[in-house]
A and B are shown apart, each in its own frame.
Chain A
Amino acid sequence: MKNIVLKLLASMMLFAFVFSANAAASEHAATVAADAPQASKTHKEENYQSKPFSEMITGFLKSTGIVALVNPRPDEMSATGQPMSDFHKGAGRVIMILVTFLLFWLAIAKGFEPLLLLPIAFGGLLANIPVAGIAGEHGFLGVIYQMGLSNEMFPIIIFMGVGAMTDFGPLLSNPKTALLGGAAQFGIFGTLVGAVALSQAGFVDFTLQQASAISIIGGADGPTSIFIATKLAPELLGAIAVASYSYMAMVPIIQPPIMKALTTEAERKIKMSTLRHVSRLEKLVFPILVLVLAILVLPESTPLIGAFMFGNFLKESGVVERLNDTLQNALINITTIFLGLGVGSKLAADQFLVPETMFIMVLGIIAFSVGTAAGVIMAKIMNLFPGTQINPLIGSAGVSAVPMAARVSNKVGMEYDRTNMLLMHAMGPNVAGVIGSAVAAGVLISLFQ
């Protein structure tokens, strides 16, 4: 009996203790809670007021894209934080969205460099969305741009991948065709003169930096164009990249008429001797050789040439197949996605729908044509000297656009002689053109240091 009473007492005491502890805890919680609701209440009251339902609906309707396009908000800023005109906020965006649809069509239906044009065009579509600010500093396109374009990282990585895909064998077996790749760079510098002449004449106001960035389109090398544009004239990047990639896709249309106009039928039928075998050691030494030359002659060009030769060296070493494979496939694909979206962010209406864009498009195609012509003419000049004859059709491959330009040379050559295989011969000037435009880029950068 006594035992039971003791147990009861003990359990009552335990209860009492738990209760009191509980009470203390709840009291503490109550004081904390009393602090918190007050803070959150005042916070809420600042931002949110109870409104009638009809007002909520009109408020929501005002925040739709349609209203933002038709009746632009006065406080909306461009991606760079500058005030924009109402045209660039409204109709300009609609026009740019239609332009991106046109780019989709070119990429999908016409097969114009879809790997790059599709990400660029979609980036452009996203960049022209009102209110959302995707291309702005904190939007994801803006972040991608900051991450790898404003610091020229993505073009460099692309160059590594291109290096790993390039075979210098054709160039090594016929070194003098490298001169054709040099001549085609005349497209760059000829256009540079044209661009400054235009701004001299008062049609448009290009600075020397901007003119240089535009003229590099003539190098027909996407990553190099983007590299130079972000360095010298980031405000023109969108137009330059779009011009560069769309003209590269149009190489099979632009080049043949120029090639045919500048050559005689006899010249187009010149057969070239078969290429000699190139040993593995030659291919292995070549990237290092070119890099050493770049270091000695023009260190400004080494970011591009260094990355290019790094990729090629990994490939030719033959012992790092996994890295080579990653460079050629996974890495270049990932970077292409980011590069395209980042460039697309520059297709925002306020940056693209300016008079300069039209001049960039015109100058770009002139640059391409002049480069093609210069390559063909250089081949004809080389044929004046004694030695083995060169088919001038491979001169046009001196503009980089690997391997499209070489394929065009081959195709035009076969129109006149079905047994004339120029593809491998044209790959020599083609890859030399990549080196040539990297050197030209280095010259332009060094001039503005």
Chain B
Amino acid sequence: MEKGNFMETNLVMEGVKFMFLGMGTVFTFLIIMIMCMNAMSYIIHRFFPEPQSNATAQTTGGAQQQDKKKIVAAISAAIAHHRQG
């Protein structure tokens, strides 16, 4: 297909077509994904909330995760500071 002269003149147009199709597909996919994620989160929070009996354990888990995030942030802050200084 790349050998034909008549195709060669259209190669850039082919590339542009690829671009529109590709970016269109990527965005369509991600937009559908975002909508599904929102719907999923809503359904899960509405109908399957995390069990109450485990609530304390879960919150501590969450708190631990928060702590971990804070630690990660603190470490990266320290690294950034170190690199600057």
Contacts and interface: CB of A to CB of B under 8 A. Distances in A.
Contact of B22 (A172, A208, A293, A440): A440
Given A179-B30, A185-B26, A423 B73 contact: yes
Nearest to B48: A281
A423 B1 CA distance: 46
A119 B16 CA distance: 37
A234 interface: no
B33 A411 contact: no
A293 B40 CA distance: 13
B6 interface: no
Interface in A386-442: 407, 410-411, 414-415, 418, 421, 423-424, 432, 435-436, 439-440, 442
A282 B36 contact: no
A277 B21 contact: no
Contact of A182 (B27, B45, B72): B27
B12 A421 contact: no
| Residue of A189, A190, A418 with highest tally of chain B CB at under 10 A | A189
Contact of B36 (A293, A432, A443): A293
Contacts of B15: 192-193, 195-197, 208, 211
A200 interface: yes
Interface stretch (A58-66, A133-141, A283-291, A340-348): A283-291
Interface in B32-48: 32-34, 36-38, 40-41, 44-45, 48
B28 to A, nearest CB: 7
Contacts of B22: 185, 188-189, 192, 440, 443-444
A298 B30 CA distance: 12
Interface residues of A, number: 55
A98 B48 CA distance: 60
A360 B1 CA distance: 22
Interface in A157-194: 171-172, 175-176, 178-179, 181-182, 185-186, 188-190, 192-193
Contacts of A179: 27, 30-31, 34
A197 B12 contact: yes
B12 A439 contact: no
B80 A290 contact: no
A196 B34 CA distance: 33
A439 B56 CA distance: 40
Contacts of A443: 18, 21-22, 25-26
Nearest to A207: B2
Interface string B46-85: 0011100000000000100100010011001100110110
B44 A279 contact: yes
Nearest to B9: A200
B23 A186 contact: yes
A258 B32 CA distance: 30
A212 interface: yes
A279 B45 CA distance: 9
Contacts of B31: 179
A212 B27 contact: no
A298 B29 contact: yes
Contact of B12 (A193, A277, A281, A423): A193
A155 to B, nearest CB: 19
A317 interface: no
Nearest to A412: B80
B73 A421 contact: yes
A189 B33 contact: no
Interface string A245-287: 0000000000000000000000000000000010111100110
Contacts of A440: 22, 25-26
Interface of A: 171-172, 175-176, 178-179, 181-182, 185-186, 188-190, 192-193, 195-197, 199-200, 207-208, 211-212, 277, 279-282, 285-286, 289-290, 293-294, 297-298, 407, 410-411, 414-415, 418, 421, 423-424, 432, 435-436, 439-440, 442-444, 447
Given A185-B22, A189-B23, A199-B11, 17 more contacts: A171-B37, A175-B33, A179-B27, A179-B34, A185-B26, A189-B19, A200-B8, A207-B2, A208-B15, A277-B65, A282-B40, A418-B81, A421-B73, A424-B69, A424-B73, A436-B30, A439-B26
28 contacts: A176-B34, A182-B26, A182-B27, A188-B22, A192-B15, A192-B22, A200-B8, A200-B11, A208-B1, A208-B2, A208-B11, A277-B62, A280-B50, A285-B40, A285-B44, A289-B36, A293-B29, A297-B25, A298-B25, A411-B76, A414-B80, A418-B77, A418-B81, A421-B76, A440-B25, A443-B22, A443-B25, A443-B26
